[in-house]
Amino acid sequence: MNFFIKTFGCQMNVNDSEKIRHLLESKGLTLCAGEAAADVIIINSCAVRQKPQEKIFSYAGRFPAGKKIIVAGCVAQAEKQALFKKKVNVDYVVGTHQFYRIGEIIDEIAAGARAGSAVAFSRRWQELVPDARARSSPVTGFISIMEGCDNFCSYCIVPFTRGREKVRPQAAILREAAYLAERGFKEIVLLGQNVNHWRDPGSGRSFPELLRQLAHRVPVPWIRFITSYPGYHDRELIRVMAENRNIARHIHFPAQSGSTRILKKMCRTYSRSQYLEIVRAFRRVLPGMKFSSDFIVGFPGESDRDFKLTLSLLEQVEYESVFSFIYSPRPRTRAAALVQELPAAVIKERLYALQETQAAIQLKNNRRLLGETIEVLIAEKHPRKAGEVIGRSESYRVINFASRTRVGQFTRVRITGAGPHSLRGEEYRE
């Protein structure tokens, strides 16, 4: 039997798809490059915002009868009833805590079982390490260190789709990291909704201590982690990063808003000034420390002044990159009960203004690099330009250049061109 996995959403969903691929390949099934040749299509879905969720419904609806369709992940968890009601040809719905059963589920479907679902939550950590060949990249290895979330930010559906927070023991994390290092991965990315809330269930060791262990014991050049919650910041993290050069000096640190008033309404547990104090604390010790962030615009009650505070936060922190989203009301969340008084046109204007401000900041940051030579990890061959590759800097900037160096190798690149979203360079040869 052949299968195809379509992944929507963040790195966590990509990592879940790697696990699904691993499970199915271990059972002897074959992954195909496209939907056409597949007997089973697994849609690994994201429910964070309404619009992307709708895309999943329309994607699921476009296949002829006869193809077996499994919807897995967050939409499966949150919208099981709707998926069956909409008369989309869905054979099985598999929730976020049940995908490790996907092999048996495919056997049931092949044996002619009727449409069904598996969406129960479990408090137990399900240990599952995808093989190197089941990974989406031969260079970057994802390692899940925790799942779910107990924060209940007022806009967010994640605690309802991924369940309560559960953590993975340190020993298992170290084993997976060592496995990736042995297979030549050049960077590892620790994944979780709030990685800086991780604590080893046995010893009580904190996240900075986990990083220290990884940095000492695992020979990968870049260790990254995503996402850090500003309300859980621990000063020890700065010390560990300063002591260990193999922890990338870049942190994804979602602020969501620059206004303390809106942060309170979002149930985020830090203020603008506390957030800025953490940024300053990092830069006092690590002057080159880089930040990226997520922002939501048009949260109910966001005034012009609140929005200007968000723009001024962008200017103050000078982020490397920013993901910005229009607020989307989500079922079961506290904010869903708030009345949205802002006109859609105003919200859109704010989104564009935020994106323009950030593009100008990135252009300025990128121009500062003109003429400099920086270390770059070659992430992939350029999909359209022969002889060109796409590389990433330590702070995750994109650099395009001509190279014969292999994917997965580090090289030095002299920066010759700078746009807001990428850099151009020449490979440096002594």
**How many angstroms separate the CA atoms of 105 and 109, rounded?**
6
Q: Minimum distance from CB of 316 to ligand SF4 (Å)?
A: 22
Q: Is 253 an interacting residue with respect to ligand SF4 (CB under 6 A)?
A: no
Q: Which does 49 bind (CB under 5 to 8 A by kind): ligand SAM, ligand SF4, none?
A: ligand SAM
Q: Which does 163 bind (CB under 5 to 8 A by kind): ligand SF4, ligand SAM, none?
A: none
User: Where does this chain touch ligand SF4 (CB under 6 A) — which range of 147-155, 200-208, 237-245, 381-389?
Assistant: 147-155
Signed CA dihedral, 47, 270, 285, 194: sign only: negative
Q: Is 78 an interacting residue with respect to ligand SF4 (CB under 6 A)?
A: no
Residue 231 or 408 having the CB closest to ligand SF4 = 231
User: Where does this chain touch ligand SF4 (CB under 6 A) — which range of 22-30, 146-154, 205-213, 385-393?
Assistant: 146-154
Interface residue with ligand SF4, options 152, 323, 352, 410 (CB under 6 A): 152
The contact set with ligand SAM (CB under 6 A) reads 10, 48-49, 155-156, 158, 193-194, 227, 229, 254, 256, 294, 296, 325, 327-328, 330
Q: Is 159 an interacting residue with respect to ligand SF4 (CB under 6 A)?
A: yes
Q: Which does 152 bind (CB under 5 to 8 A by kind): ligand SAM, ligand SF4, none?
A: ligand SF4
Amino acid 321 reads: S
CB neighbours of 211 closer than 8 A, spacing ≥ 6? 223, 225, 237, 240, 241, 244, 247
Q: Is 76 an interacting residue with respect to ligand SF4 (CB under 6 A)?
A: no
Residue 199 or 367 having the CB closest to ligand SAM = 199
Q: Which does 53 bind (CB under 5 to 8 A by kind): ligand SF4, ligand SAM, none?
A: none
Q: Which does 296 bind (CB under 5 to 8 A by kind): ligand SF4, ligand SAM, none?
A: ligand SAM
Interface residue with ligand SF4, options 12, 109, 156, 317 (CB under 6 A): 156
Q: Minimum distance from CB of 123 to ligand SF4 (Å)?
A: 17
Contact 11, 142 (CB under 8 A): yes
Q: Minimum distance from CB of 194 to ligand SF4 (Å)?
A: 5
Please name which of 268, 311, 14 lies closest in space to residue 136, comparing C-alpha atoms.
14
Q: Minimum distance from CB of 153 to ligand SAM (Å)?
A: 6
User: Where does this chain touch ligand SF4 (CB under 6 A) — which range of 145-153, 178-186, 299-307, 369-377?
Assistant: 145-153
Q: Minimum distance from CB of 158 to ligand SF4 (Å)?
A: 4
Taking residues 272 to 311 in sequence order and writing x for each that binds ligand SF4 by CB under 6 A, - otherwise, the string is ----------------------------------------
Q: Is 193 an interacting residue with respect to ligand SF4 (CB under 6 A)?
A: yes
Residue 196 or 411 having the CB closest to ligand SF4 = 196
**How many angstroms separate the CA atoms of 229 and 286, rounded?**
19
Q: Is 230 an interacting residue with respect to ligand SF4 (CB under 6 A)?
A: no
Q: Minimum distance from CB of 15 to ligand SAM (Å)?
A: 13
Q: Minimum distance from CB of 152 to ligand SF4 (Å)?
A: 6
Q: Three-state SS string across the chain, please?
A: CEEEEEECCCHHHHHHHHHHHHHHHHCCCEECCCCCCCCEEEEEECCCCHHHHHHHHHHHCCCCECEEEEEEEHHHHHCHHHHHHCCCCCCEEECCCCHHHHHHHHHHHHCCCCCEEECCCCCCCCCCCCCHHHCCCCCEEEEECEECCCCCCCCCCHHHHCCCCEECCHHHHHHHHHHHHHCCCCEEEEECCCHHHCECCCCCCEHHHHHHHHHHHCCCCEEEEECCCHHHCCCHHHHHHHHCCCECCEEECCCECCCHHHHHHCCCCCCHHHHHHHHHHHHHHCCCCEEEEEEEECCCCCCHHHHHHHHHHHHHHCCCEEEEEECCCCCCCHHHHCCCCCCHHHHHHHHHHHHHHHHHHHHHHHHCCCCCEEEEEEEEECCCCCCEEEEECCCCCEEEEECCCCCCCEEEEEEEEECCCCEEEEECCC
Interface residue with ligand SF4, options 96, 144, 151, 324 (CB under 6 A): 151
Residues found near ligand SF4 in the complex (CB under 6 A):
149, 151-153, 156, 158-159, 193-194, 229
